[in-house]
Chains A and B, each alone.
Chain A
Amino acid sequence: MTGLAAAASQTSTGEAVQFWLLGIVAVIGALSTVLMKKAVHSALSLAGTMIVLAVFYLANGAYFLGIVQIVVYTGAIMMLFLFVVMLVGVTAADSLKETLKGQRWLAAGCGLGFGVLLIAGIGNASLNSFNGLGTANTEHGGNVEGLASLIFTKYVFAFEITGALLITATVGAMVLTHRERTERAKNQREMSEERVRGKQLPPLPAPGVYARHNAVDIPGLLPDGTPSELTVMQTLRNRGQIRDVSNESLDQLKALEQRSGERLGRDNEEEEVAK
Chain B
Amino acid sequence: MNPVNYLYLAALLFTIGAAGVLIRRNAIVVFMCVELMLNACNLAFVTFSRMHGNLDGQIIAFFTMVVAAAEVVVGLAIIVSVFRSRHSASVDDASLMKL
List A residues at the B interface (Cβ < 8 Å): 5, 9-11, 15-16, 19-20, 23, 26-27, 30-31, 33-34, 39, 42-43, 46, 49-50, 53, 56-57, 60-62, 64-65, 68-69, 72-73, 76-77, 80-81, 84-85, 87-89, 92-95, 99, 103-104, 107-108, 110-112, 114-115, 118-119, 122, 127-137, 143, 146-147, 150-151, 155, 158, 162, 165-166, 168-170, 172-173, 176-177
Contact = CB atoms under 8 A, between A and B. Distances in A.
Contacts of A99: 92
A136 B59 CA distance: 13
Give the one of A33, A89, A129 with max B CB within 10 A: A33
B63 A31 contact: no
B88 to A, nearest CB: 7
A108 B19 CA distance: 6
Contact of B16 (A34, A162, A165): A34
A92 B89 contact: yes
B70 A39 contact: no
A85 B53 contact: no
Contacts of A42: 28-29, 32
B50 A172 contact: no
B19 A107 contact: yes
B12 to A, nearest CB: 6
Given A80-B76, A84-B80, A119 B19 contact: no
A258 B12 CA distance: 65
Interface in B44-99: 46-47, 49-56, 58-59, 61-63, 65-74, 76-81, 83, 88-90, 92
B36 A46 contact: yes
21 contacts: A11-B1, A33-B32, A56-B6, A73-B35, A73-B39, A77-B35, A77-B72, A80-B72, A84-B28, A115-B12, A118-B14, A131-B53, A137-B55, A147-B62, A151-B59, A162-B63, A165-B67, A166-B66, A169-B70, A173-B76, A176-B80
A16 B77 contact: no
A150 B56 contact: yes
Contacts of B35: 46, 73, 77
A34 B73 CA distance: 21
Contacts of B70: 165-166, 168-169
B93 to A, nearest CB: 9
A123 to B, nearest CB: 8
Which 9 A-B residue pairs are closest in the complex by CB-CB distance?
A111-B19, A131-B53, A107-B22, A115-B15, A16-B1, A34-B20, A169-B70, A176-B77, A173-B77
Nearest to B27: A88
A73 B65 contact: yes
Given A56-B6, A169-B73, A61 B92 contact: no
A190 B81 CA distance: 31
Nearest to B38: A73
Nearest to A106: B22
A110 B51 contact: no
